[in-house]
Amino acid sequence: MALTLTNAEIIEASPLLLADVVSKATDGSTTTLITHDLRDLDEYSIIGAYICFLDGDNKGVDRIITDYSSSGGVATFTFDSLDLPIDNTTIFAIMYLSYKSASDRANAVLTNDLKKKGFDINFFLNPADLKELHLYRTVAHICLAKTQDRNDQDTYWVNYETYMEMYNTELNTLVADYDSDESGGISTDEEDLNIGQIGFDR
C-alpha cells in the first residue's frame, strides 16, 4: 500500500512553517482565486507552482498554477478546475516545490517501522488509520531537511523533534483494522487491533 498526502494536507500541519506563502482569498471561482495580497509575485516563478487549499470546501486539494496576473489592486491565480468554487473565506498556501518526495520517503520509513513490529502495511484495510502516522513522519522529514543548527534555537530542529515524538507515540499506540489472516476482511479479533501494544511481541 502506497500512502499518499497532498501538499495541502502536509502544510495544514503547520502552515507558517511549511508553506512558502499563506494568504486568504477575496473571491474566486472553480478555476480562479482572487486576493488583494500577493500582487508583487514574479509571474515566471509562480506559474507552475502549487496552490494548496487549507480550509473550506476544497480543503486538502492541490492545483498547479497555470496563470497569474496582477492589476487593479488584486492578484488573480488560475488553475485546473476544482469541484467547488473558491469564496472569500478560503485560506490558501503557495508552494514552489512539491513535498511529494518527503511523503514518499515517510511512506517507506513507516512501512519499514511496521515491518520491524511484524506487520505488513498492505494488510491494513483502512489507509485512514495510518494517515496521522504518515503525516507526522513526513513533516519530521521535511523539518530535518531544513535544519541548519541542531539546537533549540533552530525552529526546524525543534519541530523535527516534536513531530518525531508525535510519530513514535502514535506508532506505539496505534489502533487499526489489520487483516492478519489475509482473508480480505476483518474478523472480530482483528477489528480495532492495538498494533502498538502487541507489536513488540510479534
pLDDT tens profile 118-177: 999 999 989 999 999 999 999 999 999 999 988 888 999 999 999 999 999 999 999 888
- The overall average pLDDT reported for the chain is 90
pLDDT in tens, 100-115: 999 999 999 999 999 9
pLDDT in tens, 172-184: 999 888 887 666 6
Q: Using alpha carbons, list the distances in angstroms from residue 174 to 13, 117, 148, 185.
A: 19, 12, 32, 19
Single out the residue of 86, 16, 75 nearest to residue 46, CA to CA.
75
Using the predicted structure, report yes or no on whether residue 202 has a pLDDT greater than 60. no
Beta bridge partners of 35: 75
d(CA 126, CA 175): 11
- The helix or strand, by DSSP H or E, that contains position 107, with its residue range, turns out to be helix 100-116
What pLDDT, on a 0 to 100 scale, did the predictor assign at position 125? Answer: 87
Q: Check if the beta carbon of residue 57 is closer than 8 Å to that of residue 96.
A: no
pLDDT in tens, 15-41: 999 999 999 999 999 999 999 988 888
Using the predicted structure, report yes or no on whether residue 201 has a pLDDT greater than 50. no
What pLDDT, on a 0 to 100 scale, did the predictor assign at position 200? Answer: 31
- The helix or strand, by DSSP H or E, that contains position 179, with its residue range, turns out to be none
SS3 state at 112: helix
Grid coordinates of 93: 498556501
SS3 state at 22: strand
DSSP assigned state of 17: H
Using the predicted structure, report yes or no on whether residue 76 has a pLDDT greater than 80. yes
Using the predicted structure, report yes or no on whether residue 198 has a pLDDT greater than 50. no
Longest dimension (CA), the chain: 65
Share of the chain above pLDDT 90, in %: 75
